[in-house]
Chain A
C-alpha cells in the first residue's frame, strides 16, 4: 500500500483527493485513464465494481470504483469529460467495463472510444436523448420508426 502511494504521489498526472485506511480517491485527466488503470491493474486491482456518472451541467464526472477484493483495498478514480469529448474505454482491461460503459453511454451520452459494442443497454435501441442528464426533458422525444434489433 505504501509502495503504491509513493508511486501515485510521484506520478504527475494523479492528484490524491482523499485517503482513508483502505480507500483512495484519485483525480486524473481523462486522457490518462488507460495508463493509470493499467498501473492499478498491475497492483492487483483486478475488479471494476461500478462506474458512477454525475452530470455537472457543463461536464460529466466519472468515478471508476476499482477494487482489490482479496486484500480489501479500493480506489475511486475520478475524471471529467466535457461535452462532446471522448474517453478511452477500459473494456480491454476490465471485463465488467463492457456493460458499465454501455450504461453510462445510455443514460449520459458519454462516448467511449474503442468499445466493442457501444449501444444502449437499459433503454430501447430507438430511444432518443440521454435521460439522466439534467437538461434531459428537452432532449427526450419518442421516435416514430423503431429500428429492427440486430444481435450478432
Chain B
C-alpha cells in the first residue's frame, strides 16, 4: 500500500505550543515522523549575552512559562556560584517552597491538558481550578500571575506576606482531598486506562540513549531525580520520595506526575515548619557587580526534567555565554522514534504524556 504524508500543526490544539509534525503514514500507522520546531525561537541565549546578569532573570521566565520559578532557579544558582554570593537560609526556603508550588501548578495544568488531548473535558476544568489557587497565592506574593520574575541573585524579590503560610496550608489540605477525587475520576477510570496503558512505551534503553530526563525517565524505571542525586539549594535537608514506575507507557508517566504532586506537597509542608521566622530574604549584591571569570554547569530538576544552565563568564558585568539545556529538546527528539509503528490517535496521547512545552524546546 502506498504511504502518504500528513501534516499536523503548527496550529493544533494538542501541540502544547506551536509544533509541526510531518507524519508519513500507511493507513493509520505512522511509519516515519519528523518534528518541525523553532516556531517559538526567540534566541534567549543571545539576548542573555547582551544583558547584565540581573537583567537576564526575566528572560528565563519565558523559557518555560508554566514553571517560571523553576526556570529562574538554575540561572541564579549559576551566577551565585561564579560570583560567590551567599544566600540567606530563609531565602533558600522561600525558593524551594515557591518552586515546588510552581511544579504543582505545572503538573496540574498538564493533568488537565493531557486529559483534554484524550478527549475528556472535565478534568481540564478541575486542573485549571486548582492551579488558579496557586496563581492567586503567587499574585499576592509576587504581583504577577504568570511570569513572576521572583528569584533574584542572592535571594528572592519580596518577603513572604503575613498570611502566606495559612493560604498555602489551606490550599494543600484542599488539594489533598481533590487528588483523591481526581484519582477516582481519572486514574482508576477504565476508559482512561484503555487509552493510555501500553501506549507510547518508552523503554529504559531508548530513554537513556536520547538523554530523556524528568518524570518521563522515571516512568521508564530509572530512579533519577536531580534533587536527590546532585542536591542543590536545601533539598538535601528535606525528606521526600522519588516516584518511579517500570512500564514506561503513558499511564506510568501519568502516575509519576500525580505522585510527584504528593511529594511536592510533602516538601512544602516540611519547609513551612522548618523555615526561619526571622532573617533576610535577600543578600543584595551591588547594582553593578562583576562575576569572576570561569564557567559552570548547574542542573536542576524542573517539572519537565533536567533544566540546566551552562554559564561562561569573562569577568565583565555581562555573561559571555549562557546555554540553556532544556529537557523538552531531548524528549521531543525521542518522540520521532517512539512514534514509529503507532496509530495517529496514539501519537497525540504519547506526545501529551511526555509533557513537552514548546517555548522550552525552542528557547
Interface residues of A (CB under 8 A from B): 46-50, 52-55, 63, 65, 67, 69-70, 72, 76, 94-96, 98-100, 103, 107, 120-124, 131-132, 136, 149, 151-152
Interface residues of B (CB under 8 A from A): 5, 22, 24, 32, 34, 36-38, 41, 43, 45-46, 206, 208-211, 213, 217, 222, 224, 229-230, 295, 297, 306, 308, 310, 312, 320-321, 323, 325, 329-330, 332-334, 337, 362-363
Distance in angstroms between the alpha carbons of A94 and B332 in the assembled complex: 15
Distance in angstroms between the alpha carbons of A131 and B45 in the assembled complex: 10
- Report yes or no: B224 in contact with A70, Cβ–Cβ below 8 A: yes
Kindly provide the distance from the CB of B343 to the nearest chain A CB, expressed in whole angstroms.
20
- Report yes or no: A54 in contact with B312, Cβ–Cβ below 8 A: yes
18 further A-B contacts with Cβ under 8 Å, apart from A47-B208, A53-B323, are A49-B211, A50-B308, A50-B310, A52-B310, A52-B323, A54-B320, A55-B321, A65-B297, A67-B211, A95-B206, A96-B209, A96-B330, A107-B45, A122-B38, A122-B362, A123-B38, A131-B46, A152-B24
Kindly provide the distance from the CB of B109 to the nearest chain A CB, expressed in whole angstroms.
25
Residues of A within 8 Å of B206, CB to CB, are 95
Distance in angstroms between the alpha carbons of A62 and B104 in the assembled complex: 36
- Report yes or no: B333 in contact with A152, Cβ–Cβ below 8 A: no
Distance in angstroms between the alpha carbons of A149 and B312 in the assembled complex: 35
- Max count, chain A CB within 10 A of own CB: residue among B24, B36, B295: B295
Selected A-B contacts with CB under 8 Å, 9 pairs: A50-B308, A50-B330, A52-B325, A54-B321, A65-B325, A72-B230, A95-B333, A121-B37, A132-B43
- Report yes or no: A96 in contact with B333, Cβ–Cβ below 8 A: yes
Residues of B within 8 Å of A54, CB to CB, are 295, 312, 320-321, 323
Which A-B residue pairs are the 5 nearest by beta carbons? A122-B38, A50-B325, A96-B211, A99-B333, A122-B41
- Max count, chain B CB within 10 A of own CB: residue among A47, A53, A54, A136: A47
- Report yes or no: A76 in contact with B224, Cβ–Cβ below 8 A: no
Number of A-B residue pairs at CB separation under 8 A: 95
Residues of A within 8 Å of B325, CB to CB, are 49-50, 52, 65
- Report yes or no: A69 in contact with B38, Cβ–Cβ below 8 A: no
Kindly provide the distance from the CB of B185 to the nearest chain A CB, expressed in whole angstroms.
34
Distance in angstroms between the alpha carbons of A103 and B45 in the assembled complex: 13
Residues of A within 8 Å of B362, CB to CB, are 122
Distance in angstroms between the alpha carbons of A140 and B325 in the assembled complex: 25
Q: Looking across the interface, which residue of chain B has its beta carbon closest to that of A68?
A: B208
Distance in angstroms between the alpha carbons of A87 and B229 in the assembled complex: 33
Residues of B within 8 Å of A122, CB to CB, are 37-38, 41, 362-363
- Report yes or no: B312 in contact with A132, Cβ–Cβ below 8 A: no
Distance in angstroms between the alpha carbons of A96 and B32 in the assembled complex: 17
CB-CB under 8 A for A123 and B323, given A95-B209, A95-B333 = no
Kindly provide the distance from the CB of A55 to the nearest chain B CB, expressed in whole angstroms.
7
Q: Quick one: which of A46, A55, A151 contacts B34, CB cutoff 8 A?
A: A151
Kindly provide the distance from the CB of B22 to the nearest chain A CB, expressed in whole angstroms.
5
Distance in angstroms between the alpha carbons of A96 and B67 in the assembled complex: 24
CB-CB under 8 A for A95 and B43, given A65-B297, A69-B217, A121-B38 = no
Q: Looking across the interface, which residue of chain A has its beta carbon closest to that of B363?
A: A122
Kindly provide the distance from the CB of B305 to the nearest chain A CB, expressed in whole angstroms.
10
Kindly provide the distance from the CB of A92 to the nearest chain B CB, expressed in whole angstroms.
11
- Report yes or no: B34 in contact with A69, Cβ–Cβ below 8 A: no
Q: Quick one: which of B22, B41, B222 contacts A69, CB cutoff 8 A?
A: B222
Residues of A within 8 Å of B321, CB to CB, are 54-55
Q: Quick one: which of A47, A70, A98, A151 contacts B5, CB cutoff 8 A?
A: A151
Residues of B within 8 Å of A49, CB to CB, are 211, 213, 306, 308, 325, 330
